[in-house]
Structure 1
Amino acid sequence: MPAPSATAVELRGVRLDRGGRTTLRTVALAVPAGSITAVLGPSGTGKSTLLAALTGELVPAAGEVRVFGQPVPRGARALLEMRKGIGVLLQGNGLLTDLTVAENVALPLRAHTSLPEPVLQRLVAMKLNAVGLREAAGLYPRELSGGMARRVALARALALDPPLMLYDEPLTGLDPIASGVIMSLIQRLSRSLGLTSIIVSHHVRETLPIADQAVVVANGGIVFDGTPEALEASGDPLLRQFLRGEPDGPIPFERAREVA
């Protein structure tokens, strides 16, 4: 586990292209280890593309991405090894419908370890207990509410005890109560386990209160990087438009809708 003062994620002069088009350009970002960083911005501005660069799914067209001091590798074997230390919570949960909750959580452990079955089952129970769903172990995804399914996906993402957690729009499709539960869980688990958490979201009011660092992505780059308090106090017209949800301003609504 890296030292608390270390930098967990660093991007240096990164340019990210997708579909023959530059999505993000000249990105520079440092995420302290043990922090919760909120990556905010309108839909279609490249927030999820940024996560793809951290996991090695997308190779930068320029610049360098480093995770815990090491460049994101290109080789398949080295990339697989690096990804064991990164937990990812996807928008769609990604649960396998023909497996029980416990079996879904056990998948990473079966794929990447050779633990004895009793030890594996104990770990699964611990992960489910951490998200408040130990009693749901025998249920199938179709029997879960949206909030419960998201918590199962979180337990699975934590199965290998990764020091870095990436959340891609964790509140999509959830009601306000379920959203509050998920954000509270992310904050509690990040603090208690000493995780570095990066949350990509457009849910500003739910995400900022638990964040140490706020990053706003818009118009092809990072337009703000600082504390949540500094973001909310900013008089920048672009940031004010985003925070207030105003249709007119420096962020072109029509362009954002087309790329989303």
Structure 2
Amino acid sequence: MTASDAIVRLRQLRLERGERAVLRGIDLDIARGSVVALFGPSGSGKSTLLSALTGELAPAAGSVEVLGQPVPSAGRALLELRKGLGVLLQGNGLLTDLTAAENVALPLRMHTDLPAPVIERLVAMKLHAVGLRAAADAYPRELSGGMARRVALARALALDPPLMIYDEPLTGLDPIACGVVMSLVRRLNDTLGLTSIVVTHHVHETLPVTDHAVVIADGGIVFSGTPAELQGSTDPLVRQFLDGQPDGPIPFDSRGAGANRQDAA
């Protein structure tokens, strides 16, 4: 993969929280137009990695390039970069006193000078894209969990970002809603020409729509390859995670053990 093919490039990345190294030695390229799943047990550093991509957490070492440029540390340059990132938060982040349409319109009103009729049309298009145009006037409390997640997705797409980041998009959803959301991720990625990074521990629901899978554990990347290669992996760390085995290389008290390994590194 050439530099121009990669929308995200990580080189020898080390991320720390306080005195503790959460991730170290991370090398990863994410190809434009792909859907990439980032798997790993709880506390493995998946959300910490997302914080580096969005500029919320500066690297302790190494480099982070997103959309063809190093992630700025702060200021207007970082704000401009973030306009190219669509982020679907784990908890949706919908404002409860705004309707679905008003929630989707919010980034357009904050970051553009578009006239109200144009914003209204764009909002209708985004809600239609996620199958919720009829719910435009509903408040978040009137929506099911899956519907609220789709409204949040429509809002994340409001500014037409080239890169979408999904942080645990299936948390709290029933199996049908999980299927709907992941099908939308794939369809929107292809029809809108996006690149999507899906951070999740829902392996079986996510792999069918994924082009590339990455597994993070023990402070680093333990697997990177196709979904078929992942399912055929014999690596003990990978197998323990995929098969849900309580005993294996990943201890039950992973936070304490991980901290000890990282401190020793």
Same-fold status (TM-score > 0.5): yes
Residue 248 of structure 2 is matched in structure 1 by 249
Quote the offset at 1:19 in angstroms: 2.8
Letter of the 2:231 partner, please give it: E
Residue in 1 that maps onto 2:99:
100
* C-alpha displacement of 1:75: 2.9
Give the letter aligned to residue 242 of structure 2. Answer: L
For 2:257 and 2:28, locate their aligned partners in 1 and report how far apart those are by CA, in whole Å: 27
Deviation at 1:254, TM superposition (A): 1.6
Q: 2: distance between equivalents of 1:258 and 1:209?
A: 33
Partners of 2:18 and 2:182 in 1: how far apart? 33
Letter in 2 for 1:236: D
Q: Which amino acid aligns with 1:175?
A: D
| Deviation (angstroms), 1:258 | 8.9
- Kept in 2: contact 1:26–1:221 (CA 8 A): yes
Identity, % of aligned positions: 71
RMSD: 1.6
> Counterpart amino acid of 1:56?
G
Please give the secondary structure, in 1, of the residue aligned with 2:213: strand
How many positions carry a matched residue from both structures? 257
What letter corresponds to residue 129 of structure 1 in structure 2? Answer: H
Structure 1 length normalisation: TM-score? 0.96
Structure 2 unaligned blocks of 5 or more = 259-265
Match of 2:168 in 1: 169
Q: Give distance in 2, aligned partners of 1:14 and 1:44.
A: 18
Provide the residue aligned with 2:261 in structure 1.
none
**Structure 1 residue 256 displacement after superposition:** 4.5
Q: Give the Cα–Cα distance (whole angstroms) in 2 for the partners of residues 258 and 162 of structure 1.
A: 38
Contact 1:8 1:33 in 2 (8 A): yes
8 A Cα contact 2:251 2:257, kept in partner: no
TM-score of the two chains, using structure 2 as the length reference: 0.94
Partner amino acid, structure 2, of 1:17: E
User: For the residues of structure 2 that align with 1:19 and 1:125, how far apart are their CA atoms?
Assistant: 44
Taking the aligned partners of 1:88 and 1:118, their CA distance within structure 2 comes to 25
Unaligned runs of 5+ in 1: none
User: Aligned partner of 1:20: which letter?
Assistant: E
CA distance in 1 between counterparts of 2:94 and 2:257 reads 29
Q: How does 1:200-211 map to 2 (within 5 A)?
A: 200-211=199-210
Deviation for aligned residue 1:74: 1.4
> Cα 1:138–1:257, aligned 2, differ >3 Å: closer, same or farther?
farther
Aligned position for 2:35: 36
**For 2:162 and 2:257, how far apart are their aligned partners in 1?**
36
User: For residue 123 of structure 2, what is the aligned residue in structure 1?
Assistant: 124
Q: Provide the C-alpha distance between the structure 1 equivalents of 2:38 and 2:8, rounded to a whole number of angstroms.
A: 13
Return the offset for 1:20: 2.1
Deviations 1:5-56 (A, max 9, x none): 6101010000000132110001000000000000001011000111110000
User: Contact 1:91/1:172 (CA < 8 Å) preserved in 2?
Assistant: yes
Residue 251 (structure 1) shift = 1.1
The residue type equivalent to 1:102 in the other structure is A
Partner AA of 2:253 in structure 1: E
Match of 1:189?
Answer: 188
Q: What is the Cα deviation at residue 160 of structure 1?
A: 0.2
> Tell me, what secondary structure is at the counterpart of 1:253?
coil
Write out the 4+ residue segments of structure 1 that deviate beyond 3 Å after TM superposition: 256-259
Q: What is the CA distance between 1:252 and its match in structure 2?
A: 1.2
- Aligned-partner Cα distance in 1 for 2:240–2:256: 16
Question: Once the two structures are superposed, what CA deviation does each residue of 1:225-246 show, in whole Å capped at 9, x if it has no partner?
Answer: 1111111111111111111000
> How far apart are the structure 2 equivalents of 1:169 and 1:190?
17
Distance in 2 (alpha carbons) for counterparts of 1:83 and 1:20? 27
Q: Distance in 1 between matches of 2:192 and 2:256?
A: 38
- For 2:90 and 2:73, the matched residues in 1 are separated by 25
Equivalence for 2:177: 178
* Superposed displacement of residue 257, structure 1: 8.6
SS for the counterpart of 2:92 is: coil
